[in-house]
Chains A and B, each alone.
Chain A
Amino acid sequence: MIVQRVFEKYLSRIPKIILWTSNFLFLTASWTLFRADSVSQAFDMYRRILACSGREINDYMIQNAIPLEIRTVTYVLSQLWPSITYTAKYISLFICLSVMLLILKGKNAQELTKIFKPNTKNCILIAVLTWLCIISFSGVSTFLYFNF
């Protein structure tokens, strides 16, 4: 944030997509430090990421990284139309990209508060979202079976 404030004039000239990408990479790199048990483990993680050894990511890990909602959509689609089982994941990817576009193009929370008018419709919507947030605090951890 400090960098952004100090260099705002220069940063504004850089295309947004580059800023987003660099912001994402910076966050990923810095959060790795919090995720790791020690600094040396964090550096080990960086080393492995940057090594680009080309090893496949464990399929089980990929499956568990996919949000439940996307898995549900994929499952329901493949149940309704079994012939699209193999393309269902691309439909899910399309949904993800659409939602991303909606988020990027739509108004953010600060902008929405300025035009907010209380009514029954948004009361229900916000209550449901709050409920989802509350129950999302608790989950069931995924067991990753690497080193029996």
Chain B
Amino acid sequence: MKKWFLKYFIIILILLGITAGTIIVIDPFFHYHKPIAGLYQYYNREPYQNPGVIQHFDYDTAILGSCMAENFKPSLFEELLGGTVIKTPHQAASTYNLFQYASMITERDEVKRIYWGVDIWTLELDPSYAHDPIPDYLIDHNPFTDVEYLLNRDVFESYNSVILGHTFYKTQSGTMDSAWRWADSAVFSQKEALETKSDPSAFGSLTPEQRAKNFQENLHHRILYLVESNPDIEFVFYYPPYSIRFWKQMLENDIFYERIEYIRILTEELLKHPNAKVFNFQGKKDIVTNLYLYKDMVHYSDQVNDYMTECFADGSYRVTPENFEEQLSAFVNLIETFDCSIFETDITTCMDLHEYARHNSDKYIWIISLKQIDNDNEGQLSNILDTLQLKSPQETSNHAYWILEGEQEVDFYETTKNFSKNIDYGGLQIRISTETVPEIAINDIKYSSKQNGINLVVWDKNNNRVIDSININERSGELVHY
């Protein structure tokens, strides 16, 4: 029996050694070293991997924020602003989450600049509250607690197998641009932005007094503390542009003016510090009132991230002591006066194709694309096109586009294969593509669904905006608003 136990313990020790050794070499959380060249980089859980990215990657600039920062492209920062950039966002980050990351970043001597996305409501939370916290064993500098990483079943089985599998199959490795990015799989749609329920004010049921107290503590002991104790690092704070619907809801919930006051106090305090810059994108009307840039009330498309990056480079929307009051008043005025009824019209609620076709009028420009997948379905497709009063393409052509102004067809194109066309129509820069995912973009903003079949985008000439985007299933004729 003694021998049996000896063998038993030796086998266990060997297995534990293999487990720990594999994790040290592959190091999915970058806890011990940078990614090994040639090994697939797998970005999956921010609180577990961000500390390693911060401690071991080469950079002089870091981007922090919540999911609003996840679609930033560090490569675009490098191109426009120079330096070497990492991105360490944290979904639903509290101020304390970002404070933890920023504290680690400031320990690196080479760091020159930190971008910090301010979701103003997170300053109302308890200053010690960490949402989805970083595991202690990754940041406590205690080698003994590393056992939780080295003998971790999820890391050993899931992370290692994904990394080795992708390395073996030579899959395109993750990069700082693709890390944490969700924009490619999201559908940005006015309908979703109008319908999705989200309650960002519901972080517990804090009283206004508690919120004010937490705000002061977050302001002084988290944000200003970092700015003041790191005078050699430039902090760039930015207020991301949530949709008009979010702010309207804040207005309805009687919390809008309180949050504006917090923005005012925070900005005033930051502007007193020479190493702090502030950008405010919340008043950018053509973004916040275009719900096709959102997948819900707050989460905007990657196009907005790119735009913000360009602004960081050229100084647009930078807040200064001179323009601060004017900017904030314009924003408050926009929220108070904007009429959201334009999002819900007869056309946006119409679910019947025949009735929808009757809405076509001189007020609108219809931009329609076709990517037909099922060639055995000509009859139904013809019916749909007849209903919309569109010229049917030849039988061999299963890709096409039409541009209608009222009932008058002003442009038509058909082809047998995928296409991508740029059209300048009366000042509108229209791009219609059926390559990979079908796409209709106007003035560089994508409006159509990413679905095959018929996509139709309605441009309202009077209001200079898209008022509806639908996809029509070529088989069933079913109409879905986006």
- By a beta-carbon cutoff of 8 Å, the part of chain A in contact with chain B is 68, 118-120, 123-124, 126-128, 130-132, 134-141, 143, 145, 147-148
Q: List chain B residues, Cβ under 8 A from A148.
A: 66-67, 91-92, 198, 200, 298-299
Which A residues are in CB contact (< 8 Å) with B346? none
Contact present for B11 and A128 (CB under 8 Å) = yes
CA–CA, A39 and B458, complex, Å: 53
Contact of A138 among B7, B8, B149, B159 (CB under 8 A): B149
Contacts of A127 in B (CB 8 A): 7-9, 11-12, 15
Asked whether any CB of chain A lies closer than 8 Å to the CB of B157, the reply is yes
Q: Once the chains are docked, how many angstroms separate the CA of A141 from the CA of B136?
A: 13
B residues with a Cβ closer than 8 A to A are 1, 4, 7-9, 11-12, 15-16, 19, 45, 48, 66-67, 91-92, 132, 147-149, 151-159, 198-200, 202-203, 298-299
Q: Assess whether A126 is in contact with B200, with CB atoms less than 8 Å apart.
A: no
Question: 5 closest pairs, A vs B, by CB?
Answer: A127-B11, A118-B4, A140-B154, A131-B15, A138-B152
Given known pairs A118-B1, A118-B4, the reply for A138 and B151 (CB within 8 Å) is: yes
Looking at the complex, which one of B7, B153, B200 makes contact with A120 (CB distance below 8 Å)? B7
B153 & A138 in contact (Cβ 8 Å cutoff): yes
Assembly CA distance A119 to B4 (angstroms): 7
Q: Indicate whether A126 sits within 8 Å of B151 (C-beta atoms), given known contacts A140-B45, A140-B48, A148-B67.
A: no
| Residue numbers in B under 8 Å from A137 (CB-CB) | 151
For A139, list chain B residues within 8 Å (CB): 152-154
A126 to B66, CA, bound (A): 45
A131 near B16: Cβ-Cβ < 8 Å? yes
How far apart are the CA atoms of A130 and B8 in the complex, in Å? 9
- Per the bound structure, the CA–CA distance linking A131 and B1 in Å amounts to 20
Q: How far is the CB of B120 from chain A (nearest CB, A)?
A: 14
Q: Whose C-beta in chain A lies nearest to the C-beta of B15?
A: A131
Question: Does the CB pair B91–A145 fall under 8 Å?
Answer: yes
Q: B151: nearest residue on chain A (CB-CB)?
A: A135
Known contacts A135-B16, A145-B91, A147-B92; can you find 6 more A-B pairs with CB under 8 A? A68-B154, A120-B7, A123-B4, A123-B7, A135-B19, A138-B152
Instruction: Contact check, B8 vs A135: say whether CB atoms are below 8 A apart.
Output: no
Cβ contact of A68, chosen from B1, B19, B157, cutoff 8 A = B157
Chain B residue at smallest Cβ distance from A135? B153
Cβ of B156: which chain A residues have Cβ within 8 Å of it?
135
Q: Given A123-B4, A131-B16, A147-B199, verify A140-B155 contact (CB < 8 Å).
A: yes
Can you list 24 pairs linking A and B with CB atoms under 8 Å apart? Answer: A68-B154, A118-B4, A119-B4, A123-B8, A127-B7, A127-B11, A127-B12, A127-B15, A128-B15, A131-B11, A131-B15, A134-B12, A135-B16, A135-B19, A135-B152, A137-B151, A138-B151, A138-B153, A140-B152, A140-B155, A143-B132, A145-B91, A147-B202, A147-B203
- In the complex, chain A residues whose CB is within 8 Å of the CB of B157: 68
Report B379 CB to chain A, min CB distance, Å. 29
For A124, the chain B residues whose CB sits under 8 A away are 11
Complex CA gap A120/B156 in Å reads 26
A132 touches B199 (CB 8 A): no
Are the CB atoms of B12 and A131 closer together than 8 Å? yes
Say how far A112's CB is from chain B's closest CB, in angstroms: 15
By a CB distance below 8 angstroms, the chain B residues around A118 are: 1, 4
